[in-house]
A and B are shown apart, each in its own frame.
Chain A
Amino acid sequence: MLKLDVKMKLIPLIALVAWVTISFSVSAILICNKFAEMAFQDQNRFAEELVTQAGIRYFEALAWSENGIAQVEIGSLSKAAESFEKVSDLLAEAFDLYEQVIAIGRRVGIKPTFVEAMKGLDYDKIQKEHGLQPRIWSEVATLGRKGDVLGLFQRMQQFIKHISDQSEALANMAAKGAKPSLEQITKLVEAWQDSTAFGHYTVILARAVEQALGR
């Protein structure tokens, strides 16, 4: 039988240190990847590198967000506030990186062959093949059918801004010692899930275009 001293202050310390080194030679595949590399007329490798960096910032922010929720769960609101602040900072960096990617795309232009291949895909078939959530996939498909490559990055920015705003609100609340509501946490968790699914789905789309182009 477990004996637990309820007065005991248990402090398991989890220090996670992520040293993430980006290499030019590796192709990242998790979130909005491959579009810049395949679709941009020029500077495509550099733009893809920025997308990868944005993705890393995004997942690092997700880790801090989970940490913030864990702190809320255990009642440590000051630590929760710090974590949610960190989320906002990292997402701001991701947002800016996507902004740079969009600026490059506007400047160098998008390959017409890529746009045509993107427009010509059977989006319903892809959705069924991969069992994708219709609600999120329909957003990707709407942009894809229009051949709007940069629109995918802009939509990702909107997701990021939305999560960042929520995180800032939670950080402010927690800093004042106010516990976020269950509804707020649920919304945050769902926003991350939708955003990550959107990012993953864009990669599925990129692969479909790649296949259509016979690469």
Chain B
Amino acid sequence: MMFNKKKGVKAILVLMGALVLALMPFSTAKAWLICNCVAQSAFQSRAEEAEQLVIIAGGKFYEARVHYALFLAYLEAGNSAQGLPSLVQAIEALGQSIRLYRTTIYIGEAVGIKPEYVEALKKIDYDQVESELKAKPEVWKVIARLGQQGDVLGLFKEGVRRLEQNRAVLEDLYGLINSGLFPSMGKLLQVSDSLHETTLFGIYTSALAIKVSPSCKGE
């Protein structure tokens, strides 16, 4: 049974968490967790290149979440000052993610969107997909509105808006801690909810893209 380990507990405990991320973009899109499959299927050209940017951007977003979780570990230990570098890294990773999505948007604007993709996006039964995904309504309704308008780049822009919001709440948190203040539980809940909603937005967008282009799943 895995939950019966006996652990010696001492006053001072030193934990080491070494997380190594090796982000390697692929020339064939296999990722599908966050805003994936849209650029690959919808862009008139440079689709693979754009999809790779999206994959790296998604990796950067989760990297930000890794750093934020480590920051929480420090905070729980009462070492908020020691956790500040993790918070800074989370903010930086979000910034990198934002830049990558913006570049994807520029590419999309430059090369154009396939009209048949736009039509397919408009024709999706959004209520049915919402039900299948058991999607959180407040997140899904934004995706559905953009999808019904066939606004492919709008999906990426909404992703950027959410990432900017994530970064803003983390910057607020940084400001508080850097001033020697301890964040309220309300502030921490705000950050957690903000990151979670962006995660769901990314997952739902990928799920939608797979509905439009089932072959994009990369299986």
A residues near B, CB below 8 A? 1-2, 4, 6-31, 33, 49-50, 52-53, 55-60, 62-67, 69-76, 79, 83, 88, 92-93, 95-97, 99-100, 130-131, 161, 164, 179, 182-183, 185-186, 189, 193, 196-197, 200, 203-204, 207
Contacts and interface: CB of A to CB of B under 8 A. Distances in A.
B25 to A, nearest CB: 6
B2 A70 contact: no
B190 to A, nearest CB: 9
Nearest to B66: A66
Interface of B: 2-7, 9, 11-27, 30-34, 36, 48-49, 52-53, 55-56, 58-59, 62-63, 65-67, 69-70, 72-79, 82, 86, 89, 103, 106-107, 110, 133, 182, 185-186, 188-189, 192, 196, 199-200, 203, 206-207, 210, 218-219
A21 B13 contact: yes
Contacts, number: 244
A20 B72 CA distance: 11
B134 to A, nearest CB: 8
Contacts of A23: 12, 77-78
Given A7-B27, A70-B59, A196-B192, A16 B67 contact: yes
The CB with the most chain A CB atoms within 10 A, among B7, B15, B30, B200, is that of B15
Given A27-B78, A164-B2, A189-B200, A13 B22 contact: yes
Nearest to B107: A2
Nearest to A15: B20
28 contacts: A10-B23, A14-B21, A14-B63, A15-B20, A16-B89, A17-B17, A18-B15, A22-B77, A24-B11, A28-B76, A29-B182, A56-B76, A59-B70, A60-B17, A64-B17, A66-B65, A66-B66, A70-B21, A71-B21, A73-B34, A73-B55, A74-B25, A75-B24, A182-B33, A186-B133, A197-B189, A200-B192, A207-B185
Contacts of B22: 11-13, 76, 79
Contacts of A52: 76-78
Contact of A59 (B3, B36, B73): B73
A75 B74 contact: no
A49 to B, nearest CB: 7
Contacts of B31: 72-75
A6 B53 CA distance: 10
A193 B73 contact: no
B192 to A, nearest CB: 6
B219 A179 contact: yes
Contacts of A7: 27
In this complex, the member of A23, A59, A83, A193 whose beta carbon has the largest number of chain B beta carbons within 10 angstroms is A59
B38 to A, nearest CB: 14
